[in-house]
Amino acid sequence: YRDRAEEILKEGKMPLLLGGEHLVTLAAVRAVAGTISGTFILSILIAHADLRDDYLGAHLSHACVIRRCYDILGDGRIHQFCIRSGEREEFRFAKEHTDFHPFTFECLEETVQELARKQVPVYFTIDLDCLDPSVFPGTGTPEAGGVSFLELLDAIRKVSELNIVGADVNELAPMLDPSGVSTATACKVVRELLLALAK
């Protein structure tokens, strides 16, 4: 993933990764960090903090992916929205090191305005488990209390106003939703993201 993302970036284009496991984000963030000069921001719509230093002894896991991105970016460069699950230590870490917004997209518009003023490059990752399981059950770690599809769509349109240098949409597990609704929803999210970024 990283090598291909770097190739795309060097051609002056924007990589868009699809998953699968949220760990794909780390490869793209490494590619952006190694290709684009200057500090960039990671903006995240996600249900879980994913700030563990390790998960079951592994430092590379969907539960650690944002912590590994932090290792690259450092303080104040990660903005997390919709978080509604995490260990106590993750919440403590977030309070000290990230811009952390639990449960909703509250303050998203203000964050977008601030980042727009700074004109910084932004990497945008969408973990589909930010959606409520009643809307999107086909994910490996469903978490009750998520946002609606229309709320997510509005958030995507807001964030897409920024200087997006890369993006991904992840955590679809089609086999966990035989109805096909989650797959259809994921396809719609990707479509709307592409349309928003094309403006």
pLDDT, one tens digit per residue, over 60-114 is: 999 999 999 999 999 999 999 999 999 999 999 999 999 999 999 999 999 999 9
Q: Specify the pLDDT at position 19.
A: 85
3 state SS for the chain: CHHHHHHHHHCCCCCEEECCCCCHHHHHHHHHHHHCCCCCEEEEECCECCCCCCECCECCCCCCHHHHHHHHHCCCCEEEEEECECCHHHHHHHHHHCEEEECCCCCHHHHHHHHHHHCCEEEEEEEHHHECCCCCCCCCCCCCCCECHHHHHHHHHHHCCCEEEEEEEECCCHHHCCCCHHHHHHHHHHHHHHHHHCC
Residue type, 23: L
Which whole number is the average pLDDT over 119-131?
A: 96
Cα torsion through 143, 18, 173, 138, rounded to 10: 50
Q: How far apart, in whole angstroms, are the C-alpha atoms of residue 68 and residue 45?
A: 17
- Two structure tokens written together for 124: 């945008």
Q: Specify the pLDDT at position 112.
A: 97
- Two structure tokens written together for 18: 């699809």
Q: Is the pLDDT of residue 7 over 90?
A: yes
Q: Is the pLDDT of residue 199 over 90?
A: no
Q: Is the pLDDT of residue 178 over 80?
A: yes
- Two structure tokens written together for 105: 């997209």
Q: How far is CA 74 from CA 14, 39, 100, 143, in A?
A: 23, 10, 14, 27
Which whole number is the average pLDDT over 56-61?
A: 93
Report the DSSP beta bridge partners of residue 58: 55
Mean pLDDT over the full length of the chain: 95
